[in-house]
Amino acid sequence: MRLAGKTVVITGSSSGIGAVAARQLAGLGARVCLVARREEELAEVQRAIVETGGQAWIYPADLTDEASLDQCALRILDDHPQVDVLVNNAAHSIRRPITGALDRLHDYQRTVNINYIAAVGLTLKLLPRMLEQGSGQVVNISTLSSQVPIPLFSAYLASKAALESFSRSLLAELGDRGIDVTVVYFPMVRTPMSSRTSIYRHMPMMDVEKAAGWIVKAVRKKPARVGSPLGTVGSLALAALPGPVTRLTQPAFRQMDRLLKQKMGRD
């Protein structure tokens, strides 16, 4: 798809992957709508885009608050007669064992609120405009970790699995009405969110520019999935042999954690 003149809404675009993807899309001629909680940081991203000849609008909002989400969607629809793409990138991750969360139901609630409910909520608000146009795309950001049996991220992975299921339903129901749906399966990416977990300082990760490029690829080519060969193989293996695959991979993850902790101890 040619991006010049297309209106692309990107959530979680005040920093990290969302901010860089917004700059890349604007550089290709897209009109980007920046959505996140932090207005100052959104304004900085907007300024960087405008200074290089791009077009950007900012929409500060807390997408976990229904009234704020509604207002944000109304402003976008008022400002832009056509909405071509929604990228649901805003997310929150928690690294914690299930046994460490026995009295922390709120971990699951706040994670599902931003990773799933907010994404679905904004999709539902913008979808009527896309259907009226006869075309539109929803890009939902997921993770490689949902394609292989990863421990310690149960809240995060459950929310992403829900978003993936919603994505499949959306495509199945509305694909024949011009609605494209893409799920992007990122591996670990070096972002402010991942940097909050100190154990991952020594883990090799994808850089933000490359990750943002995957979002650009999703928007330009409109595939059902953007991800890595490892993720594809993991999905097939997990679907075919869930029990054996889960049991066989766990020693490797435990060993990886031990090595990372050893490296942390040497800092």
pLDDT at 89: 97
pLDDT at 251: 73
User: What residue segments make up the domains of the chain, in order of their start?
Assistant: 7-265
156 assigned to active site = yes
pLDDT at 190: 76
pLDDT at 129: 98
The list of the chain residues with pLDDT below 50 reads: none
Identify whether the C-beta of residue 148 lies closer than 8 Å to the C-beta of residue 87: no
Q: Which two tokens stand for residue 10?
A: 């990107």
* 134 Rama class: left (phi>0) / alpha (psi -120 to 50) / beta: left
Contacts of 77 (CB under 8 A, 6+ apart): 83, 125, 126, 129
Count other Cβ atoms within 10 Å, centred on residue 36: 25
CATH dotted code for 7-265:
3.40.50.720
pLDDT at 245: 82
Active-site choice (116, 156, 185, 200) = 156
pTM of the model: 0.91
